[in-house]
Chain A
């Protein structure tokens, strides 16, 4: 078996064959080479479950609190999207919906599916599963969009009682969901999808 270094790309022969817990060092750059990431499935599940639990307060609690002409308003994630939609900014409301609702849900569902299928359906649609993993890895960090928007609004709308905005308690949960799903993605080892698979395109 051959192991490729993720940092420098050098390919080294594995010192032991068929040992999934194998850990060795890249002879060129010293980076760790592993046959499979350590406890990949357990870590992925832990992060996915934590993200799924925190996703509830992220949606239920307000992510932003605004004051305008002495009137205090609390905005949830979905509420903000709804306001954009009512204002006629349909395109924007769709972008925010994708970034804040669709991507986190997709990530939690896809990572759960990937971790489950490794154990229970190892031969099922390997190429499609590999593509799903790639998709989740690529779009994952776009969920941070709403966190940045609230930070920016709180930094510019500073007119005291006339108008002000500040982050709400839901925003911390939401930021945690984004970070946890990113950690879950990196903990999962896509090579597990291909365990015992034949080479070439025949799957």
Chain B
């Protein structure tokens, strides 16, 4: 647990503050630039671990299951997240495939995998080898993960396709929606909290 009177430095303006514990639902803000310093958080390490395990299962569905199905006078086409990125690669836009692949496929995978690697040992009471490096990489994975934008992209594509042919949502879309919600709740715990546990 974080101790009373611990120093926190505001990441956005560099001003130092003393931490005095947060009531339920409270948010501590920087007195100078109003940036969020810390939020109270209900989930324990075990709680975050449980959500991450769920996210891992849903991630596998979200990338493999069809996101949408299009039927045009008989023949129909469907595509999953992996298909979409593979088609972008083979149809001559490898740069687009790489950008979409990193932000919608690789970063979310790292988001889940590194958290699992760090959280399982933490909940058992010890620090995984390479803990510090993993937390640093998790900061990067959080930055580049754009699953929520991709989810809205699928919805938008559905609407745009509706004018052309019969378009229907697939199970992958629902999995993406679930993944967006899980990621948001896992991320709200913040990564610095992980360090409180190893002290």
Quote the shortest CB–CB distance from B174 to chain A (angstroms): 16
Residues of A close to B157: CB separation below 8 A: 148-149, 152-153, 156
B side interface size, CB within 8 A? 63
Per-position contact with B for A145-160: 1 when CB-CB < 8 Å, else 0? 1011111111111110
Tell yes or no: B191 within 8 A of A by CB. yes
**Residue from the list B31, B35, B93, B161 in contact with A130, Cβ < 8 A:** B35
Q: Are A8 and B132 in contact (CB under 8 A)?
A: yes
Quote the shortest CB–CB distance from B189 to chain A (angstroms): 13
Quote the shortest CB–CB distance from B158 to chain A (angstroms): 9
Known contacts A11-B16, A31-B136, A156-B77; is-contact A194 B33 (Cβ 8 Å): yes
Tell yes or no: B91 within 8 A of A by CB. yes
Binding site for B on A (CB under 8 A): 1-4, 6-11, 28-31, 68, 84, 87, 89, 92, 95-96, 126-127, 130-131, 133-134, 141-142, 144-145, 147-159, 162-163, 166-167, 171-172, 175, 179, 186, 190-191, 193-194, 197, 199-201, 203
21 pairs from A and B in contact (CB 8 Å cutoff) = A29-B195, A68-B164, A87-B163, A89-B159, A92-B159, A133-B12, A141-B146, A145-B149, A147-B96, A148-B104, A151-B87, A151-B100, A152-B67, A152-B68, A159-B77, A162-B72, A166-B92, A190-B12, A194-B33, A199-B15, A200-B31
Binding site for A on B (CB under 8 A): 6-16, 31-35, 67-70, 72, 75, 77-79, 83-85, 87-88, 91-93, 95-97, 99-100, 103-104, 132, 135-136, 139, 143, 146, 149-150, 152-154, 156-157, 159-161, 163-165, 167, 191-192, 195
